[in-house]
Amino acid sequence: MSHAPRILAFAGSTRAGSWNKKLVKIAADSAREAGAEVTLLDLKHYPLPIFDQDLEAAAGLPENAQKLKALFVSHHGLLISSPEYNSSISALLKNTIDWVSRAVPGEPPMAAFRGKVASLICASPGALGGLRGLVHLRSILGNIGVIVLPDQVAISRAHEAFSADDALKDPDQAGKVREIGKTLAETSRRLLREA
């Protein structure tokens, strides 16, 4: 398909039974149905040390940071499902962003993020569904040049929200999550055409 946007979809969790991994897959499937080329990424396959500028100065970007950065650079949009840890984002997600944001000589600042478009979703067992963490994630991404779309979905009581086949039990919730994926695909396509 011409002008097919490439979307990188992932959760800020490595847990095998992560609700956010289940959630991002639903939105990713919808983005794919809307014509996007979607890469579903599991950060568990890209372990990284905690960001350390001394480590970077001594050895450069770790191999997994280089691989992740290449993935970010090669995609037009980001679909992120972010768990809420202590009213913020997970250390895993922040560390990933920190490593991927690092510039190499001859590269413009924030090359992996600037001009990308992103959609945010979350799932949490709490009553707010992870919304407090999305406030922080939206701020971080906006400050590094990402265009974060205004609509977002938070699934509360996530431990009860999914069926045995990892679908959302509530059809209204499922529809809203699918709309997030579709809108990201459509917006990414429009921006790609204008570029």
Please report, for the domain that includes residue 87, its CATH number.
Answer: 3.40.50.360
Q: Which helix (H) or strand (E) holds 122?
A: strand 117-123
Decide if 74 contacts 6 (C-beta within 8 A): yes
Torsion of CA 184, 65, 138, 34, to 10 degrees: 10
| Per-residue pLDDT at 1 | 42
Domain that includes residue 57, residue range: 6-194
pLDDT tens for the chain, 195 residues: list them. Answer: 457 999 999 999 999 999 999 999 999 999 999 999 999 999 999 999 999 999 999 999 999 999 999 999 999 999 999 999 999 999 999 999 999 999 988 889 899 999 999 999 999 999 888 999 999 999 999 999 999 999 999 999 999 999 999 999 999 999 999 999 999 999 999 988 876
Decide if 134 contacts 82 (C-beta within 8 A): yes
Decide if 50 contacts 37 (C-beta within 8 A): no
| Per-residue pLDDT at 156 | 96
Whether 96 is in a domain gets the answer: yes
Counting DSSP H helices and E strands in the chain, the numbers are 7, 7
| Per-residue pLDDT at 194 | 77
| 107: Cβ contacts below 8 Å, ≥ 6 apart | none
When divided into structural domains, the chain yields a total of: 1
- C-alpha distance from residue 168 to each of 36, 50, 102, 161, 174 (Å): 22, 34, 37, 6, 6
Whether 118 is in a domain gets the answer: yes
Alpha carbon distance 188, 75 (integer Å): 10
pTM of this prediction? Answer: 0.96
Whether 1 is in a domain gets the answer: no
Whether 46 is in a domain gets the answer: yes
Whether 22 is in a domain gets the answer: yes
Alpha carbon distance 40, 28 (integer Å): 7
Alpha carbon distance 181, 169 (integer Å): 18
Q: What is the DSSP string of 69-85?
A: HHHHHT-SEEEEE--EE
Whether 159 is in a domain gets the answer: yes
